[in-house]
Structures are given as C-alpha cells and as structure tokens.
Structure 1
Amino acid sequence: MMSREWLLLTEMEKNTIASFHNDFPVKVGALAKAFGIVVKSSTLAAGISGEIKKDERSGYVIRVNRHDVKARQRFTLAHEIAHFLLHKDSIGDGIVDDILYRSSLSDTMEAQANRLAADILMPMPYVNKKMAELSQYREEERIEKVASLLEVSITALKYRLGK
C-alpha cells in the first residue's frame, strides 16, 4: 500500500517513480536526475544529512552528506526528492534536514517527505514479495536480508513494516 502522499503526485510523477521500481535497489540518484535535480555528495555541517535548494543556473540541487553511511544517504536523497515533489513552493532558499529529518518546515511536511521517501525506496509490493520468499528465515533475519537488498537501514524497513 502506498502512502497518502503518493496520491498527491501527478500521474507523470507516479509513472516516473514506478519506472524505477523494476530493479532493486532503486537507483535513487538516477530518479533525481529524471526529475531534473542535480545531486551532489558534500561535506555538510555536523548533524546535517541533506538539503535541497533552488539554483538559478541548474534548477534544483540536492546535497547529501558524504560522511553518512550509504543507507542514510539513500534515504536522505529520497527524502529530499519527496520535498521537491510535495513542497516545491516551500523550498525557497532551501530546506536543510538534520539527522532526524527535521528542518524549518513543519513536522507534518517532514513526516510527509519521510512517507514518500519510503514509497520510493521500499515499495510494499516488492517488500511483501521478498518477505514471503524468505519465509524459511525468522522475521528478524528476513528484515535484515530485505533491508540489505533495498540498501536501506533495518530501522527504516521495520518502520515501513509497522514494527
């Protein structure tokens, strides 16, 4: 099941994201590029995971903290793409997200970006299929294996599964 934020997207946006759900892990950098967003791996201030800003020359630019672990970088990138899709009018001079994905935006907008990021990286049809295929393992092991396949944190997948 997709989030209510998914329902807010245009058909073109949904189709673009869905086209990246044929191969896993989702190529989130290529997805950003498909939306015309430039992605940069950067050294950001301590405690900052990512940011999205409007750039007069190149449109929108997402910077992801290069010092974060790969799974966090991937979720941060998906989270910033979600801000682009859901909150473009609020980006203005930029949105900077700390390690808890908090920013100057409302908690509601941050939660919306988190839910859409989960839709992007961990589509439930794939998650459910893989969990079923791995039924010979204990639940904790299945979660670890699926998180590894998706290149997301175990915590993110548990949250997605409502655990």
Structure 2
Amino acid sequence: MDALDTTERVVQYCVRHGLIDGVELDIERLIERNQYLTLKKKPLPDGIDAYIKETKPNHFEIGVNAKHSRTRQRFSMAHEFAHYQLHRENLNGLAEGERILHRSDERNHLEYQANDFAASMLMPEELFRSEVIRMNGDVTELAKRFGVSPLALRYRAKSLGMKGHGV
C-alpha cells in the first residue's frame, strides 16, 4: 500500500483487488484496506469538506463531511488519500479541515497536487478520454458513470486540456 504514490499505481492496485466496478473506483474500500488509515464520516463544521490528521505515530484519520453528497464525499476521500500518499511527512503543516476543489488563488501547491491526484485516480486519463467519446461528452452521464460531481468532471477535463461545451 505504501507504493501507491502515483495514480497509475493506485489504479493498477484497484484493478488487481477488484476495487473498480466498470469505471468507478471504490475509494472507500481502498482507504479501508490500508491498516494505517481510518475513515470517519461525520458532520463537520460548515465550510469544511474533509480533513486528514495523524492520530498516533504513522496512523492517520481521514474525516469526511457526512452532510455532503456521495460524489462530494468520494472526491474529498480521494483528495485526503492523496495527501496521505504524497504529503504524509508534511501533514502537520496543513490546516485541519479544508474546502476541496474550490476556485481560489489562495490554494497552495500541496492542495493543487492533492486535487490533481484525486481527479486522476477517480478518472484515469485513458479511461476518461474513451468514456467522453463513448458518451458524446455528456457531463451529467459521465459524472454518474465515474461517481463524481459535474464540477470534478469538468476539473478533470480542463486539466487534460479538453475543450468544448461541457467537457
């Protein structure tokens, strides 16, 4: 599990362990399979999507706002999982609790990295591009297929340089 430091490795791991159903990656089960991570869904204060914090040495808790939609929770889980995989050594420097995937010039490099990792993991490029073609760029249907919000889907399309109405 420690070697899941690239989205390609995460996706390959998920395929090998049956954590991808069609095109939707089961981020919740991926987190639960890691003995060093605990996932908690609970109501969080307004303006907070999720957090990750170290609860004891090398053990971390990912908290996700239970008041949010399933798709928002999935992206939040993926974002915090990305922080765990990429920024584990620097987690104490992150704010406890954050808003995820919101347009802001104040976002730092670690947040952009976590958003990109989350989007790439939930919507792998090759699969994403083929599904966009197969579904004629229908944002609503594509978002359902990947289990993400239309905002997350558009974020991924933009990051891949895709242009057009919707996607």
Q: What's the offset of the Cα at 1:106? A: 6.2
Q: Does 1:115 align with 2:111?
A: no
Q: Does 1:25 align with 2:30?
A: no
**Matched-pair contact (CA < 8 Å) for 2:123–2:146:** yes
How far does the alpha carbon of each residue in 1:35-66 deviate from its partner, in whole angstroms, 9 at most, with x for none? 33110101111111100011128811100000
Q: What's the offset of the Cα at 1:11? A: 5.0
Q: Which residue number corresponds to residue 131 of structure 1? A: 132
Q: Which residue number corresponds to residue 149 of structure 2? A: 153
TM-score by length of 2: 0.76
In structure 1, C-alpha distance between the alignment counterparts of 2:28 and 2:134, rounded to whole Å: 28
**Matched-pair contact (CA < 8 Å) for 2:139–2:153:** yes
Q: Which amino acid letter does the alignment assign opposite residue 120 of structure 1?
A: M
Q: Which residue number corresponds to residue 7 of structure 1? A: none
Corresponding pairs, count: 147
Q: What's the offset of the Cα at 1:93? A: 8.1
How far does the alpha carbon of each residue in 1:11-43 deviate from its partner, in whole angstroms, 9 at most, with x for none? 554434422254331100111123331101011
> In structure 2, do the counterparts of structure 1 residues 67 and 73 end up closer, same or farther at CA, with 3 Å as the change threshold?
same
In structure 1, C-alpha distance between the alignment counterparts of 2:131 and 2:84, rounded to whole Å: 29
3-state SS of 2:49 partner: strand
> In structure 2, do the counterparts of structure 1 residues 101 and 153 end up closer, same or farther at CA, with 3 Å as the change threshold?
closer
How far does the alpha carbon of each residue in 1:87-140 deviate from its partner, in whole angstroms, 9 at most, with x for none? 1111138643433458xx9611111110001111111111112122223xxx3x
Comparing both chains, which one has the higher relative contact order based on Cα–Cα distances under 8 Å and sequence gaps of 6 or more?
A: 1
Q: Which amino acid letter does the alignment assign opposite residue 134 of structure 1?
A: M
**Matched-pair contact (CA < 8 Å) for 2:43–2:65:** yes
Unmatched runs of 5 consecutive residues or more in structure 2: none
Q: Which residue number corresponds to residue 96 of structure 1? A: 96
What is the alpha-carbon root mean square deviation over aligned residues?
2.5
**Matched-pair contact (CA < 8 Å) for 2:5–2:86:** no
Deviates more, 1:105-114 or 1:43-52: 105-114
Q: Which residue number corresponds to residue 86 of structure 2? A: 86
Unmatched runs of 5 consecutive residues or more in structure 1: 1-9
TM-score by length of 1: 0.78
Q: Which amino acid letter does the alignment assign opposite residue 28 of structure 1?
A: I
**Matched-pair contact (CA < 8 Å) for 2:31–2:38:** yes
